[in-house]
Amino acid sequence: MANLLSRRQFIIQWGHCDPAGIVFNARFFEFFDRGSWGLFATALGVQPHEWPSAFGVVGIPLVNAGARFIVPARFGDVVELTSQVTEFRRSSFDVAHRLELRGTVAVEGRETRVWAARDPADPDRLKSRPIPPEVVACFQVT
């Protein structure tokens, strides 16, 4: 069995770029964030704002991230972002991202996120929760 793969194609906008006209590296982490949230919305069939009532969680906060920058992306480039959960653990999971430009990998990214709900002892804080098996099953495709 493989894990669900999410693909999103978009055009690099001027606001993504630095004065040299190439994508500012922090913007890639915004792209990865959108990729993760979109992947989960697709897999679960529920929009993130509905997760508290559907799953008892408020979101999937980021706890670690990294990237390898290979080829620059520039204003006007059409890119494709591919996102996929590579590993589920008890309450955390890893997401791999690949941003391709004209069929070439431009950036590889990774994130670790947690399945999180409000802490019953302190509702201003978040606390990780075990990821339900039915959620994990939504990411498995044959």
In angstroms, the CA 135 to CA 113 distance is 14
Q: Are 38 and 32 in contact (CB under 8 A)?
A: no
In angstroms, the CA 2 to CA 43 distance is 13
What's the predicted TM-score (pTM) here? 0.93
Q: Domain residues of the chain, as ranges?
A: 2-141
Q: How confident is the model at residue 1 (pLDDT cuts 50, 70, 90)?
A: low
Phi, psi of 118 (to 5 degrees): -65, 140
Q: Cβ–Cβ contacts within 10 Å for residue 131, how many?
A: 19
CATH of the structural domain 2-141, one choice from 3.40.50.300, 3.40.50.80, 3.30.390.30, 3.10.129.10? 3.10.129.10
The mean per-residue pLDDT over the stretch 45-68 comes to 95
The mean per-residue pLDDT over the stretch 16-21 comes to 93
Token digits for 37? 């949230």
Token digits for 52? 């508290």
* Per-residue pLDDT tens over the stretch 70-105: 999 999 999 999 999 999 999 999 999 999 999 999
- Which residues are CB-contacts of 89 (< 8 A; sequence separation ≥ 6)? 131
Q: Amino acid identity of 53?
A: S
Q: How confident is the model at residue 142 (pLDDT cuts 50, 70, 90)?
A: confident
